[in-house]
Amino acid sequence: VFNISKINTVKEAWQKHQILSVHGWIYDIKDGLLQDVGISVSALNEIDKIRSRAVEKIFSEYKR
């Protein structure tokens, strides 16, 4: 999600106030299903906040 959000085409769309969202999904090879990772970005100014929340979530799950 964060790498796609850095692509010039995506950034330019957001700068032009075009509606565009980038959603995070992963493919689980165990069951062949797509799983939502709960990360979506719809504007340039959301990236840092969402990245921080994603890192916190990963670390909290890792500590279990």
38 touches 50 (CB < 8 A): no
Q: What is the pLDDT of residue 4?
A: 93
Q: What is the pLDDT of residue 20?
A: 96
Neighbour count for residue 20 (Cβ, 10 Å):
16
Q: What is the pLDDT of residue 54?
A: 79
44 touches 14 (CB < 8 A): yes
Would you give per-residue pLDDT tens digits along the chain (64 residues)? 888 998 999 999 999 999 999 998 988 898 999 988 888 999 988 888 888 887 887 777 666 6
Q: Provide CB contacts within 8 A for 11, sequence distance 6+.
A: 5, 44
Query: What is the identity of the amino acid at 51?
Result: R
Q: What is the pLDDT of residue 9?
A: 96
